[in-house]
Amino acid sequence: MKYSGSCHCGDVKFEVDGQLDGVTSCNCSICSRKGALLWFVPRDALVVSTPDECLSTYTFNQHVIKHRFCRRCGIGTFGEGSDAEGNRMAAINARCLDGVDVDALPVNQFDGRSL
């Protein structure tokens, strides 16, 4: 299924194609502060229609995940990185998806603080 999403101000817009069966809540230092519920998809499933200059990137710790957010409103819409096998992945903030009731999705708890 194809989903569309955006940041709060609408400067960052994207589409993602996949099966949204659940989300992940991570307790690492950044995710616990952002409150994002993450949906992991192959990076090729994410199409960002926003010019790169509208996005900012934040990295920390080992600098392997690019946390992408809107330069104007600051909303973190997605992240980019690779899984353990080296496949390019995107972590979509499901709270930024249009028409999705995140409260109806099963939530997997991930202990990111232990990494």
Residue with tokens 């957010």: 69
**If DSSP states are collapsed to H, E and C, what string results for 10-42?**
CCCEEEEECCCCCEEEECCCCHHHHCCCEEEEE
Is the confidence at residue 115, as pLDDT, over 90? no
Residue 63's pLDDT is what? Answer: 80
**pTM (2 decimals)?**
0.92
pLDDT in tens, 7-62: 999 999 999 999 999 999 999 888 899 999 999 999 999 999 999 999 999 988 77
Question: How far apart (Å, rounded) are the C-alpha atoms in residues 83 and 99?
Answer: 28
Domain 2-98, second-level architecture: Beta Complex (2.170)
- Going from N- to C-terminal start, the domains of the chain cover 2-98
